[in-house]
Structure 1
Amino acid sequence: MSSGRGRGHIRRRLTLGAAGLAASLLLALVGPGAGPAHAVSGVCAGHKVRVLPFSKGRVEVFKTRGYVCVVLIAKRPGVRKSMSVSVQARGSRAVRDKGRFTHRAGPVTVHAGHRCVRVTGKISGRGVTSGWILC
């Protein structure tokens, strides 16, 4: 014999599932960069804390809520060239984007918390390394 609790339980699960689906859809439509802290370049959230220029381009470093995001931007976009960008929080492995790109490499993001990070960027063999920054 049924106690009647089965229908209420199913209804509650369906309601929670529909609410979760609606929230996921809303996040997908709005996206993570919809807030006012979204970067001007459109690829990293947060505020720009460093720019590391070099002869073939620049590496832009952004920070928000313990996360550090970096992107490498070529000075002369157009032709595919070898590019790589990485960011490493002290005590962790580096996160890297490497390949042949026309305009930019990245973004790459790490959770640094309050740890120092090291940023590197290269275009066709020329590049820049930050050393430990944002300590």
Structure 2
Amino acid sequence: MDSGAIRRRLGAFLGVLAASGVLALAASGEAQAADSSSCSGRKIRTFTFSTGSVQLYKSGSYLCAITVPKSVGDKRPMMVSLQARGFEPVVDKGMFTQHAGPVRSYVGHRKVWIKGSVGSGSYDSGGWQRY
């Protein structure tokens, strides 16, 4: 093999390596941003209440919920709870500025009970529902 062929192959290899590195960095940044503030899957419902909303997402046999205030501001008490029938609730509760959650639970074909609150306003599904 002559030196020109070696250089061409080396150049092609380095080009592919650089492109894959750029794609890996871009993909990992997007994944981190999505994981830290929202649920994966498709949004299936939004339950609004006086001070915010609970957003419900579905991905396969899993549900994910997040409580979001109407307006982002100072830290205030927020909570989100997702309970599949027959299991303990998965809860995120505390003082937050942007959202409570996400909380994720395997539900299969079970009914679920959803709760969320921001400050003095709250949402409660009021019973077992199927989504």
Alignment TM-score, normalising by the size of structure 1: 0.68
Task: Output one character per residue of 1:51-110: Cα deviation in whole Å (capped at 9) or x when no partner.
Answer: 000000000000111000000000011111001101000110100000000111000000
Instruction: Give me the identity figure in percent.
Output: 38
Matched, 1:133 2:129: yes
SS in 2 for 1:133: coil
Partners of 1:119 and 1:31 in 2: CA distance:
30
Partners of 1:117 and 1:60 in 2: CA distance:
14
2:111 maps to a residue whose letter is C
Partners of 2:123 and 2:109 in 1: CA distance:
23
RMSD: 2.4
SS in 1 for 2:65: strand
1:95 equivalent in structure 2: 90
Contact in 2 for aligned 1:66/1:111 (Cα 8 Å): yes
1:45 maps to a residue whose letter is S
Aligned residues: 103
Cα offset, 1:32, TM superposition: 9.8
1:4 equivalent in structure 2: none
Q: How does 1:1-135 map to 2 (within 5 A)?
A: 30=28, 43-130=38-125, 131-134=127-130
Cα offset, 1:133, TM superposition: 2.0
Partners of 1:33 and 1:63 in 2: CA distance:
17
Contact in 1 for aligned 2:52/2:121 (Cα 8 Å): no
Which segment drifts farther, 42-51 or 95-104?
A: 42-51
Instruction: Determine which structure has greater relative contact order: mean sequence separation of CA pairs < 8 Å that are 6+ residues apart, divided by chain length.
Output: 2
Contact in 2 for aligned 1:46/1:64 (Cα 8 Å): yes
Alignment TM-score, normalising by the size of structure 2: 0.70
Any stretches of 5+ residues in structure 1 without a counterpart? Answer: 1-25
